[in-house]
Amino acid sequence: DGGITQSPKYLFRKEGQNVTLSCEQNLNHDAMYWYRQDPGQGLRLIYYSQIVNDFQKGDIAEGYSVSREKKESFPLTVTSAQKNPTAFYLCASSSSPLRNEQFFGPGTRLTVL
Amino acid sequence: GDSVTQMEGPVTLSEEAFLTINCTYTATGYPSLFWYVQYPGEGLQLLLKATKADDKGSNKGFEATYRKETTSFHLEKGSVQVSDSAVYFCAGGKLIFGQGTELSVKP
């Protein structure tokens, strides 16, 4: 089955530690995205990538980093510089950048203790 | 810049009631518009879409019509079920999402 996988579903880390969230897709999509969702709020764009080896900052990129070395993979690192990292993180992909319908993964809930 | 504004929630309805969730957009040109649904603890799923003015998207009893004259894409369902309880997001333009509307349907 084609789709997007995110792992793990739940992640706990101590304050000050970097943590990397995994996102893999087998839909052969060129574009991939990371969003952050806080309780009762909408989605905020962290980073997006339109093609391999290229990515752009979204609205709230500070304290996060990404890489796009393979078409299928777009990992997100939450660094210790992120002031309030506890949130629900969603990865998505689309066949063409920025305007097409997006397919979302199941999300990773990160809790920093 | 582009923006999407949707009706604030939460919305609480009884089973079999009629549902409307308002969504209006501001954009350059006429972008494709989408409604996504998010069940608790899950990612978003595409519910329906419309790619041009006057298009009607429909799925699982939900409908929305792309109205250019009022720049709206309101979501409707004639008879909601408990299983429709979720958060609904209107989206369009360049990666623009509304704030989400939480729907709770009571038996």
Using a CB-CB cut-off of 8 Å, the residues of chain B touching A40 are 102
Residue B96: band (very low, low, confident or very high) from pLDDT cuts 50, 70, 90: confident
Whether B95 and A105 lie within 8 Å, measured CB to CB: no
Using a CB-CB cut-off of 8 Å, the residues of chain B touching A58 are 95
Alpha-carbon A109 to chain mean position: 11
Q: What is the pLDDT of residue A99?
A: 65
User: What is the interface size between A and B, counted as CB pairs within 8 Å?
Assistant: 46
| Tens of pLDDT, residues A46-92 | 999 999 999 999 999 999 999 999 999 999 999 988 889 999 999 99
Using a CB-CB cut-off of 8 Å, the residues of chain A touching B97 are 42-43
Q: What is the pLDDT of residue A100?
A: 67
B95 lies within 8 A of chain A by CB: yes
| Tens of pLDDT, residues A41-56 | 789 999 999 999 999 9
| CA separation for the pair A84, B103 (Å, rounded) | 28
Residue B29: band (very low, low, confident or very high) from pLDDT cuts 50, 70, 90: confident
What's the mean per-residue pLDDT of chain B? 93
Average pLDDT over residues B5-16: 92
Whether B95 and A45 lie within 8 Å, measured CB to CB: yes
Cα four-point dihedral sign B34, A64, A80, A75: positive
Q: Residue B42: is its pLDDT beyond 80?
A: yes
